[in-house]
Amino acid sequence: MLKRLCVTACLGLAATPALALSCLAPSVTDSFNAANEREETFVMAVGEMTRTGPDTARPDAVQTGAENLPAPYSFPARFSGLSAMADGFVNPLEVDVTVEVSCVSAWCGTPPLDSYALFFLREDDEAGVIFEADPCARYSYMTPTEQDLTEVMGCALGDACGGAN
């Protein structure tokens, strides 16, 4: 069960430039487990995220100083869809989101914009709702099926939650 599962909705990469980034094939349970391992509160939601503003350098980003390597950035977006409750993805959710894009060496996260996806949105008392777009897409899953959503709801409700594929 998510550490801070709110019944209403809340639910190391190391690479060098000479190596290719290697990510596991995505699964809804891997996304759930990645969020569940964190101390922060996450909301599971399905729907679409749309960009609403330009990129900005992240003030908390560690700048590597390496030339020609991308730096982390953020941008505002709007999420529209349904968040999870005990009986499924049934709670309408419209919320402004800060998308934080992180980079590892030459690879940056690619947030799934304007596409139906399962998102794990982090709630922050000061910063609001944040979506973390990392290079391996740990906090989203593209085009989830009904079976995927049933499986991830089972994880949230305490059923066995598989790991890597």
Surface-to-core class of residue 158, CB atoms within 10 Å of its CB (0-12 exposed, 13-18 middle, 19+ buried): exposed
> CA dihedral defined by 72, 119, 53, 56, rounded to 10 degrees?
-10
pLDDT band at 57 (very low <50, low <70, confident <90, very high): confident
Question: Which residues are bridge partners to 100 per DSSP?
Answer: 74, 132
Of the CA atoms within 13 Å of residue 18, those in its CB half-sphere come to 0
Of the CA atoms within 13 Å of residue 15, those in its CB half-sphere come to 17
Q: For residue 103, what pLDDT is reported?
A: 87
Amino acid at 25: A
CA distance 51 to 55: 10
Helix (H) / strand (E) containing 43: strand 41-51
CA distance 46 to 117: 6
Q: For residue 25, what pLDDT is reported?
A: 81
Does the pLDDT value for residue 94 go beyond 80? Answer: yes
The per-residue pLDDT of the chain, averaged, comes to 84
Structure tokens at 8: 């209403």
Q: What percent of the chain has pLDDT over 90?
A: 64
- Whole-number CA gyration radius for the chain: 16
Helix (H) / strand (E) containing 77: strand 73-85
CA distance 22 to 150: 28
DSSP-H helix ranges across 47-143: none
pLDDT band at 63 (very low <50, low <70, confident <90, very high): low
Q: For residue 59, what pLDDT is reported?
A: 63
Does the pLDDT value for residue 135 go beyond 90? Answer: yes
User: 151 or 11: whose pLDDT is higher?
Assistant: 151
Query: Can you tell me which residue has the tokens 């729907």?
Result: 47
pLDDT band at 112 (very low <50, low <70, confident <90, very high): very high
**pTM of the predicted structure, to 2 decimals:** 0.81
Q: For residue 162, what pLDDT is reported?
A: 76
Angle, to 10 degrees, between the axis of helix 146-156 and the axis of helix 28-36?
30
Residues 36-44: what's their mean pLDDT? Answer: 95
pLDDT digits (tens, 9 = 90+) for 4-14: 443 333 433 33
pLDDT band at 2 (very low <50, low <70, confident <90, very high): very low
User: 7 or 77: whose pLDDT is higher?
Assistant: 77
